[in-house]
Structure 1
């Protein structure tokens, strides 16, 4: 058991076993903080993707509404103004 500790101490730059454990704890705390930041960033990205999809779908509906009205009017008909957000 002590030879394993000695080898580990050598591997971490001749530090004492306790100093090495403290270093590992600091690294672990940083990793936990980074993981939390990553999770928050992933949530923000997901929210933004949802907003983009929502805006795209409404833009497509508005474009189709405008195209339908233009087509009707260009053939001599009249169409009521369609509300924003698409055909009702």
Structure 2
């Protein structure tokens, strides 16, 4: 079963009346397992953001991504 935070994030991402910030945070949460894995493998936050942006997995800026990484992931290195 999916975690509650993942289910909430999916609902927010699909919502038509959620704010852009809420949708961006939801997108980050849906990718958090992959992002955390890359962080654990010592990839830089910038490179993770760059690849996800280039893959069109995310469409928000680096500063927002960095903030979410520090808030929602552990042991972030830059």
Choose between structure 1 and 2: higher helix proportion: 1
- Measured against the shorter chain, the TM-score band is under 0.3
TM-score scaled by length of structure 1 = 0.24
Higher RCO (CA < 8 A, seq sep 6+): 2
Q: Which has the larger radius of gyration?
A: 1
